[in-house]
Structure 1
Amino acid sequence: MFQLEVLLPYILLLIFPVVLFFLTKPTNKNISIPKSYPLIGSYLSYRNNLHRRIQWLSDIIQISPSATFQLDGALGKRQIITGNPSTVQHILKNQFSNYQKGTSFTTTLSDFLGTGIFNTDGQNWKFQRQVASHEFNTKSIRNFVEHIVDTELTSRLIPILYLSTQTNQILDFQDILQRFTFDNICKIAFGFDPEYLTPSTNRTRFALAYEDAMEISCKRFRLPLPIIWKIKRYFNIGSEKRLKEAVTEVREFAKNIVREKKRELEETSSLQTEDMLSRFLSSGHSEEEFVTDMVISFILAGKDTTSGALTWFFWLLWKNPRVEEEIVKEVSKKSESLVYDEVKEMVYTHAALSESMRLYPPVPMDTKEAVKDDVLPDGRFVKKGTIVTYHVYAMGRMKSLWGDDWAEFRPERWLERDVVNGKWVFVGRDLYSYPVFQAGPRVCLGKEMAFMQMKRIVAGIVGKFKVVPEGNKDEHPGFISFLTSQMEGGFPVTIQKKFP
């Protein structure tokens, strides 16, 4: 039996090109639910659209009854993909206990994320969430905005942007934002300043290793059978060899943060720091591997999601100067160094960020695994072990949820005028129709902190600078995702001063 499992992936790989030649023709024009064939399921169609996977799946959801369809994998593997708010509520809230991360997901990412909060279920998840929740109270967010973000903005980011206006240097703004948010998450969560945002464009070994680890880990999901990457890992060859090297670099970086924090705590008679890492280490769960997993997961949460959202936001601002003008007007009414309450009152900017993430969500898809048999609200049967994916990117493009003008970047769809004073009032949407921050028991703890950080960054930039994309300005950048979304190839820009 084991020999068959070992040989079968290679047999399939040998016949795929032949079958591909006769059965599939690449096309972006005719959208249909992919056909399923014996043994290989719909893998040929999936493989044929890997270069546009997110958009392809989104297109299929738009034409599917109840915005839900089944994608068959090799050897009977099933995945249900949905954009139906009722189904999203069903799996994220009503039947939360039945839809977990599951062994398929956690095993695939275990080398990179271990048992960190985004790769675990049950009591381990509950404990990490409980300890982390203290990081997101009003006092912590106020300190984060007024001290950590403000310092990073005024002492590091703004000087870099000013310098680039004088030299006409092309910056990868996506990389700049990743560096900014990386410094911030390390300072607020771990009490550690990596000082990654510098005028130098040289990338650290950790940053390169981190990206490799995330990309290779995610590409495991795209293989027809997990046995393929497991064999490569066993023999330490190809991408799995690179993954092992990258993960070693990432984990050593995270372990050094943990060890330094332990040393600091041992040298103090009482807990003087209020960061999340100190609380974890003081909770009795100080095992190095466990805490290291936690550190890596929170770097992922704080660095990549926020920077990804801001990358697309600044691209959309350039495409929509009317919206940029409205944000500039709002910012001009605030003080130079915005305090917490002023940032919180940036209603139009909040709406613009919400609208940007509707179109380009930081996490475009999320998956759960059914613990036992179930029936979805539309009557679809879900067998135990089936993967159920809710497609956030697709949901932001559904006419049924956003109207005929869904493709328009229009922050006003999130706003209403106060009948008394005429000011804008933000009107949020149902979390199950807009699950950008998840929903239910696993809803993102850092939602408010993320919004406050993004609004403070926007306020610090739009009044002084214009971010201008380089290259072919009429070409839409590629939207890709490895756990979190990115702009393919980076976001090369020049920075222009608005006022001399």
Structure 2
Amino acid sequence: MMVDIQLSTPLIFCTIIPLFFLILSKLLKRIQESSTQSSPRPNPFPKSYPIIGSFFSLLKNNERFSQWTSEIVKSTPNLTFTLNLGFGRSNVVTANPANVEHVLKTNFHNYVKGGYFTTTMRDFLGDGIFNVDGEKWKFQRQVSIHEFNTKSLRKFVETVVDSEVSGRLIPILKDAAANKKVLDFQDILQRFGFDNICKIAFGYDPALLSPSLPEADFTAAFENALILSTRRFRSLTPYYWKIKRALNIGSEKQLKILIRRVRDSAREIIKEKKRNTDSIGSMDLLSRFMSSGHVDEDLAIDIVISMILAGRDTTSVALTWFFWLLSKNPDAENEILKEIEKTSEDDSALGYDEVKGMVYTHASLCESMRLYPPVPVDAKAAESDDFLPDGTVVKKGVRVVYHPYAMGRVEKVWGRDWAEFRPERWLEREEGDQGKWRFVNKDSYTYPVFQAGPRICLGKEMSFLQMKKIVAAVLRRYRVVPALEGGKEPVMRMSLTARMQDGFPVRIEHRN
């Protein structure tokens, strides 16, 4: 009898629990439809019920969480509201710069990644820099910071990026233009980012941007593992994915297999590094960690995965939205082309100093990331009770979600034309000197696209240099023309980063 019970228990969980949540979701959907029909005035705030909180509103907006919460937070007088997640959980969502500064700087030590985030992402990110706090985070940051000095950045632009642009990116675009191929430009930019981060951080060239656009088990597993890991955040009950993981069923079983593949591939990179310590690039970021004496193989694997996540996704996502916005704003594209021609006659003369001086292009990238920040929302958990500057109460354990996507759409910050792509909002004319443009920065708490405070992104300048180099090389030669079916606009997909759902199909056309 005991054996029968043990064997049947997983089957009970597999059958009853999904059925329970399916029935509950359908019931709540009917309640929602009923309440919507009876309410003549639209209300952006989700209705909250005992125990389940705003479950049905979350269910309805699960695939567009960033856009939905942006609409709510912008409608509040202090750009802050509390979202009842149900089952005793809640988030404070804010687009208030004073609150963001409080969380990311003033009271930094009270706001951490927290157990919810680290538990959700631990299987994938382990103890990598994006999933830890305290001394573990501080150690990885201190080692990493040496890779972002001026000498390293100059080398990055004038060797790694140059070779990837001239040797791989441009030939692929040339072939697409000649043969009138439709490319998934998001995929192309991700491959570019993956090659670059592997070269600069690990001294390893995966050659994903080779002409054949090879399929790599590592990158496919990495992508799918990231998707399934972030899906855990969208689970509307606190234990559903944990039960599936414990029973090793469904998406959690698949995730376990994918993570094993990713970690095995990362382990091979580390082994190759150990075998080839005297090769070019032996003083790359991975080598610094391995020579520190404080990194075992498991932590080295976590570091490799975190660095790939940072270098592959954020820059490629930013450029994907940039090229789409530029296709809709030919005046801005023409201004960038003028700047490129004034800066250099060809790409070989476009070195570190020249790229840094591309002010209008820099402003255009900032404007694109204002509307589509690579990381649309981020969160920190309170370690003790607190008050935000606007008076919002934050209880211990509550997560404060700061919202770069919403913050780029606040009218009182950006003006009535906030929905327009206008790089000039970041610029002003200098007196004399033929009225050259001068970049006017926003403080990092009004524009937290690269985070702010002690955790501000170390790779910020490297990202801008890489993006400007790509923009100059591509636009000098080609027009990037969207080929979305029926002229549709792209949709932002829910993930850690603001990727386009279904990619970004484009046609590449030669300039005169």
Residue 476 of structure 2 aligns with which residue? Answer: 463
Q: Is the 8 A contact 1:468 1:496 kept in 2?
A: yes
From 357, 375, 382, the equivalent of 1:370 is 382
From 291, 294, 305, the equivalent of 2:314 is 305
From 317, 329, 332, the equivalent of 2:326 is 317
| Residues 411-432 of structure 1 deviation map (CA, whole Å, 9 limit, x = unaligned) | 0000011112111011100110
Query: What is the CA–CA distance in structure 1 between the aligned matches of 2:310 and 2:477, rounded to whole Å?
Result: 29
Name the SS for the 2:409 alignment partner: coil
The answer to whether 1:30 aligns with 2:39 is no
Query: What is the CA–CA distance in structure 2 between the aligned matches of 1:483 and 1:310, rounded to whole Å?
Result: 16
Name the SS for the 1:490 alignment partner: coil
Residue 5 of structure 2 aligns with which residue? Answer: none
Instruction: Read off the aligned partner of 1:65 and give its amino acid letter.
Output: P
- TM-score normalized by structure 1? 0.95
Residue 415 of structure 1 aligns with which residue? Answer: 427
1:188-267 alignment, distance < 5 Å: 188-265=200-277
| Residues 130-162 of structure 1 deviation map (CA, whole Å, 9 limit, x = unaligned) | 000011000000000011001000000100111
Name the SS for the 1:484 alignment partner: coil
Name the SS for the 1:483 alignment partner: coil
TM-superposed deviation, 1:201: 4.0
From 107, 110, 123, the equivalent of 2:135 is 123
1:463-482 alignment, distance < 5 Å: 463-472=476-485, 474-482=487-495
Instruction: Read off the aligned partner of 2:30 and give its amino acid letter.
Output: F
Q: Is the 8 A contact 2:78 2:96 kept in 1?
A: yes
Name the SS for the 2:490 alignment partner: coil
Query: What is the CA–CA distance in structure 2 between the aligned matches of 1:57 and 1:203, rounded to whole Å?
Result: 36
TM-superposed deviation, 1:473: 6.1
Name segments (4+ residues, structure 1) moved above 6 Å. 6-10
Q: Is the 8 A contact 2:52 2:86 kept in 1?
A: yes
Instruction: Read off the aligned partner of 1:464 and give its amino acid letter.
Output: R
Query: What is the CA–CA distance in structure 1 between the aligned matches of 2:281 and 2:223, rounded to whole Å?
Result: 34
Name the SS for the 1:17 alignment partner: helix
| Residues 309-341 of structure 1 deviation map (CA, whole Å, 9 limit, x = unaligned) | 000000011100111111111101214111111
| Residues 108-135 of structure 1 deviation map (CA, whole Å, 9 limit, x = unaligned) | 0000100100000000000000000011
Of all paired residues, the percent bearing the same amino acid is 55
Residue 339 of structure 2 aligns with which residue? Answer: 330
Residue 190 of structure 2 aligns with which residue? Answer: 178
Residue 287 of structure 1 aligns with which residue? Answer: 296
From 347, 354, 357, the equivalent of 2:366 is 354
Query: What is the CA–CA distance in structure 1 between the aligned matches of 2:198 and 2:61, rounded to whole Å?
Result: 37
Instruction: Read off the aligned partner of 2:331 and give its amino acid letter.
Output: R
Which runs of no fewer than 5 residues in structure 2 stay unpaired? 1-8
Residue 464 of structure 2 aligns with which residue? Answer: 451
Q: Is the 8 A contact 1:153 1:457 kept in 2?
A: yes
Query: What is the CA–CA distance in structure 2 between the aligned matches of 1:89 and 1:389, rounded to whole Å?
Result: 13
TM-superposed deviation, 1:226: 3.0
Q: Is the 8 A contact 2:363 2:439 kept in 1?
A: yes
The answer to whether 1:440 aligns with 2:449 is no
Aligned residues: 491
Instruction: Read off the aligned partner of 2:320 and give its amino acid letter.
Output: T
Q: Is the 8 A contact 1:34 1:45 kept in 2?
A: yes
CA 1:180–1:219 in structure 2 vs 1: closer, same or farther (change >3 Å)? same
Query: What is the CA–CA distance in structure 1 between the aligned matches of 2:172 and 2:258, rounded to whole Å?
Result: 29
Name the SS for the 1:361 alignment partner: coil
The answer to whether 1:424 aligns with 2:433 is no
Which runs of no fewer than 5 residues in structure 1 stay unpaired? none
TM-superposed deviation, 1:227: 1.3
TM-superposed deviation, 1:202: 4.4
Instruction: Read off the aligned partner of 1:330 and give its amino acid letter.
Output: E
Query: What is the CA–CA distance in structure 1 between the aligned matches of 2:315 and 2:139, rounded to whole Å?
Result: 24
